[in-house]
Amino acid sequence: MDGSSSRRRAPFLIGLVAILLALPLGYFLFLEPPAATTPPPPPPVPEVRPDVPAAVPVQPVAKRLAELRLEEVRGTVEVRRGGGEWRGASVGEALRASDTVRTLDGAYAVLIGGEAVEIRMEPGTEVSVAELTDSLSRLLLGNGMTTVSVKSGAHHTLEMGAVGSDAVARSEGGRFTVSNNGAGTVALASLEGETSLSGQRKVVIVRAGQQSIVRPGQGPSDPTSIPPSLLLKVNWPHRPRRQALVTGQTEPGSRVIIDGKSVEPDDQGRFSATVSLKEGANHVRVDARSVGGRNQEEQRDLTVDTTPPKGVTVDPGLWK
């Protein structure tokens, strides 16, 4: 009886155990909430950008043209526009590229370019304007002598060429004097700062208190100290007539004025000029000035007497 009862309970017990074992599995299958999953990222939103104009190439800013002005005028000073006619200049008049200014004998002029440049023209000097901008002044010395000042720190360069020569003086700050006889002899002296002088593919630096010279077909000489005095030797006529020849010698590159008229010495400093004299006593003066600022003079009283001796008949043309 007990064995039969045990056999009847066995399936019950086995079923009960199976149910108990199945409970956890059912919980995980039916009651456990699903694991949270990471939502997919939202689709990218296109960036809305304002309309940007296409890049425009930057054009270089053209340098503004500058001008020189006549600050001071003494005596007869003339201006020529381009290839036009010479006419009288006036204070305040502007000079631009292709213009030329000249001082006649006994005249003097001062040009200024803003606060950066000052140009002092001696008598018998001609200067042409080749190019003018805020940062560059390029000029050409036809003949004569001029003193140039370039303000240091003004970011301005001045170049002075010379007619009849490839010589070029260049300064970015300082003061110098340059002369040109119009036939290839150019002299330069630096008074303040330093200036470069070039010619025939040679360049020298002329410092304050030094000078250099360019002769025809040659480069600039090595700079030397400005001499303390200026050589001037004049050969006066022994028997002057109404047309008297005056000759002499000075330093090459110097300026010579005989009886108020400018005379150009050659590359050796030799000069000559015919002076018109009147009957009787004539006071004749010869002045010389070097680029270094040295001056020298000689003067002489020349007496012209064309009165023929009494009782002698002379051809009048002989005394002319």
Instruction: Look up residue 57 and give its two tokens.
Output: 């190439």
Q: What is the DSSP letter of 75?
A: S
- Based on its alpha-carbon atoms, the radius of gyration of the chain, rounded to whole angstroms, reads 48
* Number of Cα atoms under 13 Å in the Cβ half of residue 140: 15
What was the pLDDT predicted at 167?
98
pLDDT surpassing 70 at residue 261: yes
pLDDT given at position 291:
98
Asked if the model's pLDDT at residue 46 lies above 60, the reply is no
% of the chain at pLDDT higher than 70: 77
Q: Looking at the predicted structure, is the pLDDT value of residue 279 above 50?
A: yes
CATH assignment, 232-319:
2.60.40.10
Mean of the per-residue pLDDT values of the chain: 87
Q: Which residues in the chain are classed under CATH 2.60.120.1440?
A: 68-225
The amino acid sitting at 37 is: T
So what's the architecture of 68-225 in CATH? Sandwich (2.60)
Between the CA of residue 277 and those of 5, 245, 266, 287, 314, what are the distances in Å? 176, 10, 25, 18, 21
Query: Is pLDDT of 171 > 90?
Result: yes
Distance between CA atoms of residues 143 and 5, nearest Å: 150
Q: What is the pLDDT of residue 11?
A: 63
The b-or-e profile of 168-196 (16+ CB within 10 A means b, else e) is bbbbbbbbbbbbbbbbbbbbbbbbbbbbb
Helix (H) or strand (E) holding 140: strand 136-150
The C-alpha angle 95, 100, 101, rounded to 5 degrees, equals 85
Taking the C-alpha atoms of residue 98 and residue 110, their distance in angstroms, rounded to an integer, is 18
At 13, the pLDDT band (50, 70, 90 cuts) reads: low
> Comparing C-alpha atoms, which of 159, 168, 176 is closest to residue 211?
176
How confident is the model at residue 32, as a pLDDT?
53
- The more confidently predicted of residues 139 and 115 is 139
- pLDDT score recorded for residue 62: 43
Q: In the chain, where does the domain assigned CATH 2.60.40.10 lie?
A: 232-319
Render pLDDT for 195-248 as a digit per residue (tens, 0 to 9).
999 999 999 999 999 999 999 999 999 999 999 999 999 999 999 999 999 999
Cβ neighbours, 10 Å, residue 295: 13
Chain segment 77-133, per-residue pLDDT in tens: 999 998 899 999 999 999 999 999 999 999 999 999 999 999 999 999 999 999 999
CA 97 to chain CA centroid, Å, is: 14
- Which range among 4-8, 78-82, 160-164, 248-252 shows the weakest confidence by mean pLDDT? 4-8
Residue 48 has pLDDT above 70, yes or no: no
Residue 201 DSSP label? T
The length of the chain in residues reads 320
- Quote the CA–CA distance of 205 and 156 in Å, as a whole number: 18
Strand partners, 273: 246
Residue 267: C-alpha distances to residues 76, 139, 228, 294 (Å): 28, 23, 21, 18
In this prediction, residue 66 carries a pLDDT of: 73
